[in-house]
Structure 1
Amino acid sequence: MRKKYDEEEEELKQFYRSTEQREGRGQGGGSHRYIIASFLLVFFGLISLPLGRDCSAMTGIYFGREEIAWKGYKEGLAQAKREGKPALVIFYSETCSACKRYKGVLQDKDVVEASAPFVMIRVNTRQQPKLSAQYQFDGRYVPRTFAVFPDGRIMHHLYPAKRYKYFIGLEPEHLLSLMEKAQAEMEH
């Protein structure tokens, strides 16, 4: 998104440079127009950010490809219960650099395929702090990924005993391993 704004800003600069040259003003005469136009571009661009396609469940970070049918928390848990499917609940923050890297894991072809038997749920910790607090068993870090039974119980025993237990790593094989364990747990 930043690239788009940089390109638009460069187009504005070129436009005002050509306008100043045509009007014979040189370098400084029309700079106030450039400043006002840049301000409006940034201001209205920032206002429109939350209006994008991900505003309902994942504002700020687009997690995964279109193939993953992301759900909000309540909707996702209701679907898991109704369909008897396990769910993966991912807590994230749009300001978290690890979360931004984790989206690469969720775009991996094997992860997308492995997500089919799950209800995939994402929760923005800033938008839902009370819900996030309910899942802070070992800290407030993000991303946190929970495999849950269809009734909403967390499969705590699938995670290794470590300090940040629900941080599963930023490689596809870590998430794939968790998904495989959760599927095996459902078969028992």
Structure 2
Amino acid sequence: MFSFPLTGLGEQYDWATFEDGLKLAKENNKPMMLVIHKTWCGACKALKPKFAASEEILKLSSDFVMVNVEDDEEPEGSQFQPDGGYIPRILFLNSDGVVQPDLINTLGNPQYKFFYSNALMVTEAMKSALKALGGSRNDEL
């Protein structure tokens, strides 16, 4: 879909830049999954191979506009840090580009609601986001 630099999260995903992702979400009436990470972050480095290897994340990704931002690509604004600026964070946005602060990692530390450390956490959040925001797999979830 786009020419996108490899960031370790998996080249098999149709990654978009944040700006393009906002347009695609609106045009296709799809929610956006926004992965915020840094090149120097140990927790980010630990998540990347798990994310990249997950068949379930890949399957669910077709119902989202997939965006990952690294280092200075992170969008500005408090809405992108609902409970802090820790990393990695995964946020879900509706098709109008509005962050959904109620779509959190229910399997993780409640102090860091948008922090994910394994594929199961990510897939469960993706399923919750699809139930809340719609998507073609909504009936299967």
Q: Same fold (TM over 0.5)?
A: yes
Is the 2:91–2:103 Cα contact (8 Å) retained in structure 1? no
Residue 176 (structure 1) aligned to one of 113, 120, 123: 123
TM-score (norm 2): 0.80
**Pairing 1:14-163 to 2, within 5 Å after superposition:** 54=5, 61-64=7-10, 66-107=11-52, 108-124=54-70, 126-128=71-73, 131-134=75-78, 135-159=80-104, 160=106, 162-163=110-111
- Find the aligned partners of 1:105 and 1:111 in 2 and give their Cα distance: 10
Q: Aligned residue pairs: how many? A: 127
The CA deviation at 1:102 is 1.3
Q: Which has the larger radius of gyration?
A: 1
The CA deviation at 1:62 is 2.0
The CA deviation at 1:67 is 2.0
The CA deviation at 1:70 is 0.6
The CA deviation at 1:103 is 1.0
5+ residue gaps, structure 2: none
5+ residue gaps, structure 1: 1-52
Seen in structure 2, the aligned counterparts of structure 1 residues 106 and 132 have a Cα distance that, compared at 3 Å, is farther
* Greater RCO (Cα-Cα under 8 Å, separation 6 or more): 2
- Find the aligned partners of 2:100 and 2:77 in 1 and give their Cα distance: 18
The CA deviation at 1:69 is 0.5
TM-score (norm 1): 0.62
- Find the aligned partners of 2:50 and 2:123 in 1 and give their Cα distance: 10
The CA deviation at 1:186 is 2.3
Seen in structure 2, the aligned counterparts of structure 1 residues 163 and 132 have a Cα distance that, compared at 3 Å, is farther
SS for the counterpart of 1:174 is helix
